[in-house]
Structures are given as C-alpha cells and as structure tokens.
C-alpha cells in the first residue's frame, strides 16, 4: 500500500479530486477486505475465549459442583460428568460411520463410474438433497416413523447375535460394566436407543462422505482406467486396481469430515435417543447413552450458573474434539492434493 500511495503523491496531477476519490475507494476496499479477514481471526479467537471464560467457574469449582447436574453424587467431578458423554458421542459417531462409509463409497462409485454419464449429475443432485433436509426433520422422521419400524430388526439381532461375544472386554479405566456383545442386553419397546440414533446419523453424514469421495473418484487418471480396461480388466477390477488406490486418501479424508459432522450433530440424537450416562456397549438398550451435543441441548433450558459452565465446558471439549478430527481430515486432503 505505502509504495503506491507514495507514487501517487509524487506524481502531481490536475484532477486531484478524482484521484482522491479513486484512492479513497481503493483504500476503503482494501481496509474492508483485510478487516473481514481479520474479523475471522477475531471471531474464532472469541469463540475460544468466551467458551473458555464461561467454563472457568466449572473448572475452578470442580471440588464443589453444587448444581443439579451433580445429582448429589459423592465423587462428582468434571471428568466423571463429561466422560460418559464423550463415550456416547464417539460410539454413536463410530457406528454411524461404520454404516455410512460402505454405502457412501458405493454411491460415489455408482455416480462416478457406473451410472450413465447423462444421469450422473441428476443422481448426484438427489444425494445432495439428502444434505439439504434440516436435521430437525431427520429427528422427527427418525423418532416417529423409523424407530417403530426398526423394532423387529432389533429383536432379531438381539435374539441371534446378542448372545455371541462380538466385542472383547470392557472399558477398564472408567469402570464401565463388562461388555459381552454389541447387540446384547435387554432392549425394550420404544427403541429410542443408540442404534436408532446412529442410523439417522449415518443418513445425515452420507451425503458429505459421498460428495468428497465422488470428487476424488472423478479425478482418477482417465488413461490409467483405460489402460486397465485395455488389458481386459472388468469394471470391478478397474475400480479395485485403479480407482480405489487412487482415491484412498480422499476417502479417508471424506470419512473424517463425516466423523466431524457426526460428532457435532445434535438434533438427531436429541430427538431419538432416550438419554443415560453409562459406558455400555449395548447399543440396543434404551437409556444408556447420550452425546455431548444432545446433552447440552436438553439440559440448557434448566441450567444456570455452575451448571451452565459445566455444559459450556462439555461444549468446549466437543469443539476441541471436532477441531482435531477436522484438522486431520484437512491435512490429509491437502497432502493428497484433492480439491474438496
């Protein structure tokens, strides 16, 4: 800026008024633009500062959290309060990803390599529509329509797979109950359990994972694909030997982005899950789990003072968690040189 200013000042011109207007417009624009850039810095700093600031009371008062959230438990602490919700958040997100990733990859492959070229854009738009539906509508649909429909499936899973040990051990450092199987336990009638919430979460993260993977698959070098075909490979073999290896890091990044979304999603969990705070792996049991976000949403109305601080602290934990996940995802994307 300074050099152009100096140059303009040194060259004395007759139309000083016009020149002044021009200079004013230019500096106004650059100030506004750079100001907006700085504002982004300030905003994020403000998010971190205000969240930390508001959670300080909970951090300081961890000895004597007298609020209603402590529930008069003897050994109540920040960690004992937050840990079950972290567990619930991660378990729900992990289950959702386990369901969403294979389906998303299938869709991405379908749109990029299987569907007729003319239809591909329209089909992609259909998937994008999934992302356009507001989360609260997913919650409503999941809570009222889907959950009763899933009941027979859950009963079946519980009766057959529920008796086999599919998940080893338990969580020793927090003293959770021993886990025999993912589908074990005693599921009861309104199936507002973690499995239902995860299914809806999976539907919600599906379009995100699909969108990024599709972009990656479309960038597969055309010549490599054609070379494989020329060697007599079937379409599946082209996908297996060329497309998937090329898109591997992109798929990982897409999954991480989906994970970030699943961790932070509130409404689907809030509206479907009957809350509880245990370290149970019994995903079919009702009233066992809760996620951080849904816990904040359901408790905030009645919370004030130290309780509010406590909730804001859990929000801060969630923020840090998603930040780390997203940072890893971006790093992978940047390293693989794929445009998301």
Q: How many residues belong to the chain?
A: 340
The runs of H, that is alpha helices, within the chain are: 2-10, 16-60, 78-109, 117-132, 135-140, 147-160, 194-218, 222-230, 235-238, 244-264, 267-272, 292-299, 306-336
**Interface region with other proteins, contact rule CB under 8 A, candidates 138-146, 157-165, 170-178, 280-288:** 138-146
Q: What is the DSSP letter of 338?
A: -
- Cβ distance to other proteins smaller for residue 185 or 207: 207
Of these, 110, 166, 218, 336, which contacts other proteins (CB under 8 A)?
Answer: 110
Structure tokens at 112: 């990029």
Total residues contacting other proteins (rule CB under 8 A)?
93
* Whole-Å CA distances, 43 to 38, 47, 50, 51, 316: 9, 6, 10, 12, 15
**Interface region with other proteins, contact rule CB under 8 A, candidates 162-170, 181-189, 277-285, 310-318:** 310-318
- Cβ distance to other proteins smaller for residue 34 or 79: 34
Using CB atoms within 10 A of its CB, is residue 196 exposed (0-12), middle (13-18) or buried (19+)? buried
* 170 belongs to the binding site for other proteins (CB under 8 A): no
Q: What is the DSSP letter of 61?
A: G
- Cβ distance to other proteins smaller for residue 60 or 136: 136
188-227 footprint of other proteins as x/- string (CB under 8 A): ---------------x--x---x---------------x-
Q: How far is the CB of 333 from other proteins (least distance, A)?
A: 9
- Cβ distance to other proteins smaller for residue 151 or 330: 330
Of these, 14, 145, 168, 189, which contacts other proteins (CB under 8 A)?
Answer: 145
* Whole-Å CA distances, 210 to 110, 197, 313: 10, 20, 33
Please answer whether residues 108 and 210 qualify as being in contact, where contact means their C-beta atoms are separated by less than 8 angstroms: yes
Closest CA to 313 of 135, 72, 65: 65
- Cβ distance to other proteins smaller for residue 112 or 280: 112
- Cβ distance to other proteins smaller for residue 5 or 237: 237
Closest CA to 171 of 280, 328, 16, 50: 280
Structure tokens at 149: 């429909």
**Interface region with other proteins, contact rule CB under 8 A, candidates 69-77, 161-169, 178-186, 323-331:** 323-331
Of these, 105, 147, 181, 182, which contacts other proteins (CB under 8 A)?
Answer: 105
Sign of CA dihedral 93, 95, 98, 99: negative
**Interface region with other proteins, contact rule CB under 8 A, candidates 9-17, 157-165, 174-182, 235-243:** 235-243
Helix (H) or strand (E) segment spanning residue 109: helix 78-109
- Cβ distance to other proteins smaller for residue 66 or 137: 137
- Strand-pairing partners, residue 286, are 193
Tokens 């959950």 locate to: 147
Of these, 93, 179, 273, 311, which contacts other proteins (CB under 8 A)?
Answer: 311
Closest CA to 269 of 322, 187, 201: 201
Binding residues among 279-298 for other proteins as defined by CB under 8 A: 292-293, 296-297
- Cβ distance to other proteins smaller for residue 38 or 79: 38
Binding residues among 19-78 for other proteins as defined by CB under 8 A: 22, 25-26, 28-30, 32-41, 43-44, 46-47, 50-51, 53-54
């Amino acid at each position: 800026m300074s050099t152009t200013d100096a140059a303009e000042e040194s060259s004395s011109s007759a139309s000083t008024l016009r020149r002044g207007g021009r200079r004013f417009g230019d500096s106004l624009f650059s100030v506004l633009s750079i100001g907006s850039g700085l504002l982004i810095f300030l905003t994020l700093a403000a998010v971190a500062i205000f969240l930390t600031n508001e959670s300080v009371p909970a951090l300081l008062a961890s000895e004597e959290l007298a609020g209603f959230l402590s529930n008069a438990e003897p050994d109540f602490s920040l960690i004992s309060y937050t840990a079950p919700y972290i567990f619930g958040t991660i378990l729900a997100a992990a289950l959702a990803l386990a369901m969403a990733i294979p389906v998303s990859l299938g869709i991405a492959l379908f749109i990029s390599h299987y569907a007729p070229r003319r239809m591909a854009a329209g089909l992609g738009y259909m998937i994008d529509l999934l992302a356009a539906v507001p989360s609260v509508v997913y919650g409503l649909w999941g809570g009222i329509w889907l959950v009763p429909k899933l009941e027979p499936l859950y009963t079946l899973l519980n009766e057959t797979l529920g008796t086999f040990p599919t998940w080893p051990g338990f969580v020793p450092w927090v003293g959770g109950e021993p886990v025999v199987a993912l589908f074990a336990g005693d599921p009861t009638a309104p199936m507002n359990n973690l499995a239902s919430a995860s299914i809806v979460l999976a539907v919600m993260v599906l379009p995100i994972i699909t969108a990024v993977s599709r972009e990656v698959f479309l960038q597969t070098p055309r010549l490599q694909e054609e070379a494989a075909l020329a060697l007599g490979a079937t379409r599946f073999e082209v996908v297996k030997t060329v497309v998937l290896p090329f898109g591997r890091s992109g798929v990982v990044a897409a999954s991480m982005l989906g994970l970030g979304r699943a961790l932070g999603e509130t409404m689907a969990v809030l509206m479907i899950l009957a809350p509880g705070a245990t370290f149970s792996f019994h995903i079919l049991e009702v009233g066992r789990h809760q996620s951080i976000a849904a816990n904040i949403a359901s408790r905030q109305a009645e919370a004030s003072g130290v309780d509010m601080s406590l909730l804001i602290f859990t929000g801060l934990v969630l923020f840090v968690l998603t930040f780390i996940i997203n940072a890893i995802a971006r790093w992978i994307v940047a390293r693989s040189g794929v445009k998301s």
